């Protein structure tokens, strides 16, 4: 039966139930009733400082940085300078022994040092937030996951997509006929940088798990979360396109991850060029969803069914394609005529991951990314890096992935 424009608008106005798929609000910063969670940051390099500043400057009512630790005392003192009354340590074991008021630990050391810090922190009865990737080897991942499952405390892994409001919103569409059947997935991470000098842990083949391990883990986890399963094999290659300085770890990699149902994830990462940045696109028969960490869009196919909310949607033009912007709290903003003000998240993804961890600590619920899911994403990333080094195709151990 045909419907004129007025009839469609009336129907759409009554079909706000379609908009009920959207989160009603962005997650508010956690304010525990028992007071802020006392945290220790172990590892005060680039990532530890990034997380520490977020905790101090934006999540201060939910968390207090009570202690910091780094083998380089200078780095620890630099971060402690931003946190009032934070104790400074150069030994994490001494911190766990002496900083009695610390309830939770942020593990932000180099990846190959995660295992000891994480396991000792769990044994000490601390809640743990461990940066992704979880560990340096599949065996270490499995060991950490086992320890976390046996603990009464919260263990979260920093796979940030799972706590990202836009990614959560987009996944609600992904699970409906709004996008329908999977065609393929594309993920890229382009950011021109040096990654340090040969000999630094990122560039040392003995300690580095390469671009797939250190960066791709975030995007592989998003694909696992959306698809609800793990790939069966990977074909990969890597090369050095820019940094001809004696390094052995590739600065550019390409990989194809294949699922049992034939869907492929095409992964492209480089530190030799920045064009396009970091994003993922899920191609489906009714629509494509493009996610870029602080922004997201849905591109509907002309023959896909109308769901009702489209009349309210904010849209952006991408060459010949028109994207519906995925906006948290869209119902309220639409009613106020302020949809464009809601385009893009006000904070970066690690803010929401840390906030989710604090909420889990305060309530006792499971975090957005558990140790087991973090282990699976890391094990996949490590295997992709092995395929890069081999320059060929490798399979994934499904029993090992589902067993952690």
Which range has the top average pLDDT, 28-37, 52-61, 243-252? Answer: 243-252
Residue 363 in any domain: the answer is no
Judge if 128 and 207 occupy the same domain.
no
Residue-range definition of the domain harbouring residue 85? 37-161
CATH number at residue 153: 3.40.50.720
What integer pLDDT is reported at residue 176 of this predicted model?
87
Judge if 60 and 170 occupy the same domain.
no
Judge if 142 and 190 occupy the same domain.
no
Joined tokens for residue 131: 């940066």
Of 110, 141, 161, which residue constitutes the final position of a domain?
Answer: 161
What integer pLDDT is reported at residue 367 of this predicted model?
98
pTM of the model: 0.91
What integer pLDDT is reported at residue 5 of this predicted model?
32
Average pLDDT of span 327-346: 61
Residue 91 in any domain: the answer is yes
Residue 365 in any domain: the answer is no
Residue 223 in any domain: the answer is yes
Judge if 157 and 168 occupy the same domain.
no
Q: Domain tally for the chain?
A: 2
Tokens 């039966």 belong to 1
Residues 215 and 238: their CA atoms lie apart, in Å, by 14
Residue 3 in any domain: the answer is no
Residues 338 and 78: their CA atoms lie apart, in Å, by 41
Judge if 125 and 223 occupy the same domain.
no
Judge if 125 and 203 occupy the same domain.
no
Question: Do the beta carbons of residue 290 and residue 199 sit within 8 Å?
Answer: no
Judge if 157 and 167 occupy the same domain.
no
Question: Do the beta carbons of residue 253 and residue 235 sit within 8 Å?
Answer: no
Of the candidates 361, 293, 343, the one whose C-alpha atom is nearest the C-alpha of residue 59 is 361
Residue 350 in any domain: the answer is no
Mean pLDDT of the chain: 89
Q: Which residue has the higher pLDDT, 32 or 89?
A: 89
Half-sphere exposure of 256 (CA within 13 A, CB side): 8
Question: Do the beta carbons of residue 291 and residue 174 sit within 8 Å?
Answer: no
Residue 104 in any domain: the answer is yes
Average pLDDT of span 327-343: 56
CATH number at residue 296: 3.30.360.10
What integer pLDDT is reported at residue 22 of this predicted model?
40
What does the DSSP 8-state code read for residue 198? Answer: B
What is the per-residue pLDDT across 83-103, written as a single tens digit (0 to 9) for each? 988 999 999 999 999 999 999
Judge if 252 and 303 occupy the same domain.
yes
Residue 56 in any domain: the answer is yes
What integer pLDDT is reported at residue 15 of this predicted model?
32
Average pLDDT of span 118-137: 98
Of 161, 185, 204, which residue constitutes the final position of a domain?
Answer: 161
Burial class (CB in 10 A: 0-12, 13-18, 19+), 297: buried
Judge if 70 and 106 occupy the same domain.
yes
What is the per-residue pLDDT across 347-394, written as a single tens digit (0 to 9) for each? 999 999 999 999 999 999 999 999 999 999 999 999 999 999 999 999
Is the confidence at residue 330, as pLDDT, over 60? no
What is the per-residue pLDDT across 224-247, written as a single tens digit (0 to 9) for each? 999 999 999 999 999 999 999 999
Residues 290 and 300: their CA atoms lie apart, in Å, by 11
Judge if 183 and 87 occupy the same domain.
no
Q: Which long-range contacts (CB under 8 A, 24 or more apart) does 397-403 make?
A: 397/138, 398/230, 398/232, 400/138, 400/142, 401/230, 401/376, 402/230, 402/376, 403/142
Residues 206 and 136: their CA atoms lie apart, in Å, by 10
User: pLDDT confidence of 26, banded at 50, 70, 90?
Assistant: low
Of 161, 192, 209, which residue constitutes the final position of a domain?
Answer: 161
Residues 160 and 172: their CA atoms lie apart, in Å, by 17
Judge if 312 and 224 occupy the same domain.
yes
Residues 305 and 285: their CA atoms lie apart, in Å, by 11
Question: Do the beta carbons of residue 73 and residue 58 sit within 8 Å?
Answer: no
Is the confidence at residue 161, as pLDDT, over 70? yes
Judge if 70 and 179 occupy the same domain.
no
User: pLDDT confidence of 29, banded at 50, 70, 90?
Assistant: confident
Secondary structure class of 369 (helix, strand, coil)? coil
């Amino acid at each position: 039966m045909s419907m004129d424009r007025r009839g469609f608008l009336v129907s759409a106005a009554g079909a706000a139930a379609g908009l009920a798929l959207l989160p009603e609000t962005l997650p508010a910063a956690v304010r525990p009733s028992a007071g802020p969670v006392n945290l220790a940051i172990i590892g005060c390099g680039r990532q530890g400082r990034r997380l520490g500043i977020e905790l101090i400057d934006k999540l201060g009512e939910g968390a207090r940085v009570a202690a910091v630790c780094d083998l380089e005392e200078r780095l620890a003192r630099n971060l402690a300078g931003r946190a009032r009354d934070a104790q400074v340590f150069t030994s994490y074991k001494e911190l766990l022994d002496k900083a009695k008021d610390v309830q939770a630990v942020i593990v932000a050391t180099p990846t190959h040092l995660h295992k000891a810090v994480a396991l000792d922190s769990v044994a000490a009865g601390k809640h743990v937030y461990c940066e992704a990737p979880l560990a340096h080897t599949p065996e270490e991942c499995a060991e950490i996951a086992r320890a976390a499952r046996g603990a009464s405390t919260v263990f979260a892994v920093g796979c940030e997509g799972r706590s990202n409001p836009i990614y959560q919103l987009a996944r609600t569409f992904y699970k409906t006929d709004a996008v329908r059947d999977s065609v393929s997935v594309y993920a890229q991470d382009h950011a021109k940088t040096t990654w340090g000098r040969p000999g630094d842990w990122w560039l040392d083949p003995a300690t580095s798990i390469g671009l797939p391990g250190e960066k791709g883990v975030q995007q592989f986890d998003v694909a696992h979360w959306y698809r609800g399963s793990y790939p069966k094999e990977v074909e990969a290659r890597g090369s050095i396109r820019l940094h001809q300085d004696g390094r052995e770890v590739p600065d550019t990699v390409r990989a194809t991850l294949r699922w049992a149902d034939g869907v492929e994830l095409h992964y492209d990462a480089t530190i030799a060029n920045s064009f396009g940045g970091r994003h993922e696109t899920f191609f489906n028969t009714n629509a494509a969803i493009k996610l870029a960490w602080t922004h997201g869009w849905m591109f509907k196919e002309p023959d896909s069914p109308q769901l009702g909310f489209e009349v309210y949607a904010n849209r952006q033009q991408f060459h010949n394609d028109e994207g519906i912007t995925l906006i948290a709290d869209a119902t309220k903003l639409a009613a106020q005529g302020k949809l464009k003000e809601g385009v893009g998240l006000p904070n970066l993804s690690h803010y929401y991951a840390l906030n989710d961890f604090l909420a889990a600590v305060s309530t006792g619920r499971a975090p957005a990314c558990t140790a087991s899911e973090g282990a699976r994403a890391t094990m996949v990333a490590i295997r992709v890096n092995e395929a890069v080094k081999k320059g060929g195709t490798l399979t994934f151990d499904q029993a090992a992935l589902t067993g952690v």
